[in-house]
Structure formats: C-alpha cells, structure tokens
Amino acid sequence: MITTAFAVDGKAIPEIPFDAGESYSGLLPISSKADETKKLFFWFWPSKNQSVDDEVVIWLNGGPGSSSLFGFLQELGPFMWAPETAQPYRNTWTPVNLTNVVWVEYPVGTGYTEGTPTATSEEEIALEFLGFWQNFMTLFSMQGRKVYILGESYTGWYTPYIGAAMLDAANTTYYDFRGAALVSPIITSLDGILANSVGAASFAKDNNNILNLNDEWLTFLNNKSAACGYDDFLSTYLVYPPKPGPMPFPFPIEESGYGTFDCDTRNVIVIGSQYQNQCYNVYNILDNCPPRSDVIQNPIPGTEPYFNRADVKAALHVPATTDWVNGGRIVFANSSLDGSSPQNDRSLMPIISVLPKIIEASKRTIIISGAMDSVVLHTGVELAIQNMTWNGAQGFQSGEMEKFVVDPFEEFVPETFSGLGQLGKTHTERGLTYILLQRSGHFVPTDAPGGFYKAVEFLLGRRDDMEGGTSFYWSE
C-alpha cells in the first residue's frame, strides 16, 4: 500500500517507553500540480474504536504559525510530554479514544511545512488546505467520511474559513464538513481590543485574589478602562438579549494594526501581575513558576526541541534539513515579525459571515473559553457571540447558563488526572454551544481534559446534550 511510506513505527518513536500504536505522518502537497512546492505536514492516528470508520477529526493550533505538534505533545495527543516530566506518558483523554484524529501543521510556513507563504487572506490559505485535504483523503481512501475540526486560539479564524470553504466546494466525497469546536478562540478583530482589552478591568476585579494587583495599580487600571470607553462599551453590549444591530467600534488603532498603547489595559494587568508574581502566566493565571525545562519551548541546554531532533524527524518522515520551531515564522505574505507589519491577514472577522455559515450548516458548533485565560478573555468571546447573527437571530437571547458537570470516572485514570464535578457553565441556542470552564486557561485540553473530552463527545454525537455527568468511552 502507498500508505506504508508514511507509516510510523509505534515501537520506535524516540523517547516513548511503550508501543504508541498505529499512526502515519509526512508531507503532502496543497494541490495536484506535479511541480507543487508547498506542502503541509500531518500526523494521523486511526482510532482503536472500530465503530468510527465513517469520520475523521482535524486538530489545528493557532498562532498564526503555531505548530499543531505542540497540541499533540502537550494537550491532546495519544501520548504527552508535559514540561518538567522525565519522559512521555499515555494520555487517557486523547480524542483518539473516540475517533480518528489528524494533527495538521497549517498554514505554509508553520513547523515542518514546506514552501514559501504567498497567501494574504484566510480564503487563500483555506483553499490551500482543501488541496492538501483532498490528497490526504485520497491517500488513506477515506472519501465520504464526515469531517470535524477542533482548533485553538487563532484557529478561531482558521477553522470557520476552512469549514466555509468545504461547504462552498459542495463535494462531500472529500469535504463532508459536519461541525467544529473552537477552543479559546479569537473570533473578533485582530487588534486585540475586543479580545482582551475591553474586559480587562472586569477580569482583574473578578480575579484579583489571584492576580494580587495592589490598590494603586487597580485604580490606574480602572481609570484607564473608563477613560478608554471600555466600561461603558461592556455594560452596553454584553447584555442578553443583545442590543440590536452591529456593535460600533469607536476605539483607535495603531498603524501596526493593534490597539493603542495608552488603552492596552490587558498589558496593565500583565505588568502589574508580574510585579507581584514574577511567575505570572498569561495563559493560565492559576499557574505558578514557568517550567525550567520543556521539550518543545525551552529544552534543557545543549539539547534540541523534541521535534527538531534528527531521530524524531527521521521517525516522522521529515527531511533532515528541515528546521522545526513552534511559532515565530511568517505565514502570510507581505508580513514581518518586527511589529511593523504583523501577520498580514486581510480577511473579514469570522463572526461576520463564515462562522454563522458553519453554525447554520452543521448540527453542532462549540465555543469553549477558559475563565483563567488572560490571552483571550472570555468576555471578548462573549461580546463576539452577542455581535453575531445566525439561524435567524442575533446573539444568545438568554444569559442563563446550566452547570457543566463531569461525573466521577468509572475507572481510575493514573497517568493523566482531570477535574470532576462542576467544571464550569454552558449554554446552547440555535446550534451553538458555549462552555465556560472556571479553572481552565488558554490550553483547555491540558487544563480541563475531562471537560474537553466531554465536549468532543457532544460534537461527535456521542451524547445528546451537555446536561448531567459523563459516562466516558475508553478505547482498548
């Protein structure tokens, strides 16, 4: 079989002290052209659950330019290698227990991918993904399978555009898109104002028992938030049902495309928190000091990041000359990394058309936020939902939320622990489910693995609703 060339020996993945099982990896072109130079990297894990031969799930990390192999190794892969742990371990909560999952490095310019980025919009990179996806589905003879997408952070832009492109293709042989889950997503404008400035003072008020901002700093933050118009905006537009019509955008933008420094209230929190706690973690404010070693981001001195090791590249069918990094590369043409022209994504906000499109076309769409995430504040996500129209109405009509509960597990999970009981709150209207997880930060599959697993079960139709607890499926 042609797939043999992509087979990964589960007994020979470097540093893995067990047989990891069946998987396939490598590079595939984004088109059928014989001279195509752009290629995306994938790592495909068929599920041991034999009843799911009609579906496949895609995982994407954000950035833009963040590698999905970060998500694989430290969030939801079948094995994980957390910071400051001696070796990898099995992940009980991987969605591979539920279905077939492929991690894709996307777009061109990310991780192991090959070629020079030429796209300047989400529409263009989505079409590149579709070309890759047709080649992938053909390679593994998976034509006609249902397709779901899981994505994190900047994939709040990637995923709706890919889903919309699949729907527009009207070709269910390759693109039978059925739903998506957006984790800690950026779905508003990329200037950062709605995502993490408007709600910053409210975030600090709710969490100052953790942040420990002193009175002087809190006063400075609150005065700045009021002067910049954020308080009035939040109280006017984060309401249920929503204020009719599109939200105005009265906030100034720098030439760089970001909000002004004078009104960067999130940065006020970051600086003030770092004065109080040098170990402040923007991704989860509950975290303590950052790890002294991390095989992806901060390896032990004298060693390479795991995915840049020669033996790992050989095991995954990647050219030895490829230099792997997690982020820090251009993925949109005409961009720079010095701040003068940041990642030059010229597309419209997803909430304008493509996100409503995929909600309306699929049975279930999920948005998950972590209440401890200070990178993409949950209030920014909630503002975006209230500014979006889908299935005949604008926003959520009710702000009432139900308990999001994970019941005690039916068996002991020794390797990867997860919280149980009420982990947060959830609300569903007109095909869109929103979940707010109380102790989770940006990386939800890591911070609340049982809650994330339950959400994926719901997305795939393994459960009818988000009520009650969970009877998990464990693959053998």
- How many CB atoms within 10 Å of residue 341? 15
Contacts of 417 (CB under 8 A, 6+ apart): none
Catalytic: which of 294, 373, 418, 440?
373
Asked whether residue 155 carries a pLDDT value surpassing 80, the answer given is: yes
Tokens of 203: 């975030």
Rounded Cα gap, residues 179 and 459, in angstroms: 7
**What one-character-per-residue DSSP string does 132-172 give?**
HHHHHHHHTT-TT-EEEEEEETTHHHHHHHHHHHHHHHT-T
pLDDT per position as a tens digit, 385-402 = 999 999 999 999 999 999
State the pLDDT at residue 310. Answer: 97
Asked whether residue 257 carries a pLDDT value surpassing 90, the answer given is: no
Residue, of 139 and 330, whose pLDDT is higher? 139
State the pLDDT at residue 255. Answer: 63
Please tell me the least confidently modeled range out of 33-37, 102-106, 261-265.
261-265
Residue, of 275 and 20, whose pLDDT is higher? 20
Confidence category of residue 354, pLDDT binned at 50, 70, 90: very high
Residue, of 334 and 47, whose pLDDT is higher? 47
- Is residue 373 part of the annotated active site? The answer reads yes
Question: What architecture (CATH level 2) is domain 1-466+472-476?
Answer: 3-Layer(aba) Sandwich (3.40)
Asked whether residue 412 carries a pLDDT value surpassing 60, the answer given is: no
Contacts of 124 (CB under 8 A, 6+ apart): 118
Asked whether residue 369 carries a pLDDT value surpassing 90, the answer given is: yes
Going from N- to C-terminal start, the domains of the chain cover 1-466+472-476
Asked whether residue 32 carries a pLDDT value surpassing 70, the answer given is: yes
CA distances from 395 to 281, 353, 416 (A): 31, 14, 36
Region 58-87: what's the mean pLDDT? 94
- Is residue 317 part of the annotated active site? The answer reads no
Distance of CA 54 to the CA centre of its chain: 24
Region 47-63: what's the mean pLDDT? 94
Model pTM score: 0.95
Asked whether residue 161 carries a pLDDT value surpassing 60, the answer given is: yes
pLDDT per position as a tens digit, 96-149 = 999 999 999 999 999 999 999 999 999 999 999 999 999 999 999 999 999 999
Confidence category of residue 415, pLDDT binned at 50, 70, 90: low
Which residue(s) pair with 352 in the sheet?
none
Share of the chain above pLDDT 70, in %: 92
Region 316-342: what's the mean pLDDT? 81
Residue, of 63 and 235, whose pLDDT is higher? 235
- How many helices and strands (H and E) does the chain possess? 13, 15
Catalytic: which of 362, 369, 442, 447?
442
Rounded Cα gap, residues 380 and 373, in angstroms: 11
pLDDT per position as a tens digit, 419-454 = 778 999 999 999 999 999 999 999 999 999 999 999
> Sheet of 146-152: strands edge to edge?
7-8, 23-29, 39-45, 101-105, 55-60, 146-152, 176-183, 364-370, 432-437, 421-429, 402-406
Catalytic: which of 47, 66, 67, 153?
153
State the pLDDT at residue 51. Answer: 87
Q: What is the mean pLDDT of the chain?
A: 91
Residue, of 236 and 258, whose pLDDT is higher? 236
Asked whether residue 476 carries a pLDDT value surpassing 60, the answer given is: no
DSSP E strand stretches across 341-445: 364-370, 389-390, 393-394, 402-406, 421-429, 432-437
- Is residue 442 part of the annotated active site? The answer reads yes
